[in-house]
Amino acid sequence: MGSIPRLALGIMGNATSLLLYAAPILTFRRVIQKRSTEDFSCTPYIVALLNCALYTWYGLPVVSYKWENLLLVTTNGTGMLMEASFVLIYLYFTSAKGKWHVWSIMIPTVIIFLATALISWCLFSEHHQRKVVVGSVALATSIAMYGSPLVVVLVIKTKSVEFMPFYLSLFSFLSSSLWLAYGLVGRDLFVALLMDTKRTCQAVQEAEAEKQASKKVYEAGSEIFHCNDFSVKEAYDCKFYNKNCK
């Protein structure tokens, strides 16, 4: 498992990653209470499921050397179970059209994982070669997951930063920082590149979300400036939450 600093970083990375994986619980609690998936998309959870599955495979002794990446297996294995639970809940409460959409993404996802696992296992004999194959595919899915504009689109569409809460951004930043250090200390290029990509995409997403949210608030305040004693925040609520504007 490597040096003590790397072990410590991996344990802390596990803790913050678990908090990050648990973040959607509040979203799916609302889905269960309302018995509706509303405007939520299941795509990010399916992509995250694929990412966790690939990095779990990456950390197993089949790909990595012995148990050098055991902590990758524990955190991504747990994440895989949680993401699968979220997808199942979504499938149960979504419409027939939503179910078709989920399966249309889920089937290619399973095919990609099985193809990657079989190719790395059957066609390559050395651990380094297997890590390159699995790590490359995992890195590509990570870019798709962390670089996806879905979060920003939701912020713009709903005119709310509800879908990008502060605690989610905080846990994401802490997790990516710890795993970046873990990859650098262990000289694992794919783990380090993954977290560097994640940090960059996260920064861009947050900047764009903040920019769009501020723009919508300003527009709301400008359009109903005739309301007496209204702050921009109140003007925003008045326009987009159908509050009385006198």
pLDDT in tens, the chain (246 residues): 557 888 898 899 888 888 888 888 888 898 899 998 887 788 888 888 998 899 999 999 999 988 888 998 999 999 999 999 999 999 999 999 899 999 999 999 999 999 999 999 999 999 999 999 999 998 887 776 665 544 444 444 444 444 445 566 677 777 778 888 888 888 887 787 776 666 556 555 555 545 555 555 445 444 444 444 444 444 434 443 444 444
> What's the confidence (pLDDT) of residue 203?
55
| pLDDT at residue number 158 | 45
How high is the pLDDT of residue 214? 54
- Tokens representing 86 are 């979220």
Q: Tell me how far apart the alpha carbons of residues 52 and 50 are, in angstroms, rounded to a whole number.
A: 5
Quote the CA–CA distance of 214 and 210 in Å, as a whole number. 6
**Residue 201: what pLDDT?**
60
| Per-residue pLDDT at 100 | 94
- Residue 246 CB contacts under 8 Å (≥ 6 apart), including other chains: 227, 228
C-alpha angle 164/100/24, rounded to 5°? Answer: 25
CA 220 to chain CA mean position, Å:
30
- Residue 160 has what DSSP assignment? -
Alpha-carbon span 73 to 226, nearest angstrom: 58
Confidence (pLDDT) at 147: 57
- Distance of alpha carbon 100 from alpha carbon 89, whole angstroms: 15
Q: Write down the pLDDT at residue 138.
A: 86
What span, in angstroms and rounded, lies between the C-alpha atoms of 87 and 102? 8
Q: State whether residue 40 is helix, strand or coil.
A: coil
| CA 174, 177, 183, 187 torsion-angle sign | negative
Nearest to 220 by CA among 205, 241, 190: 241
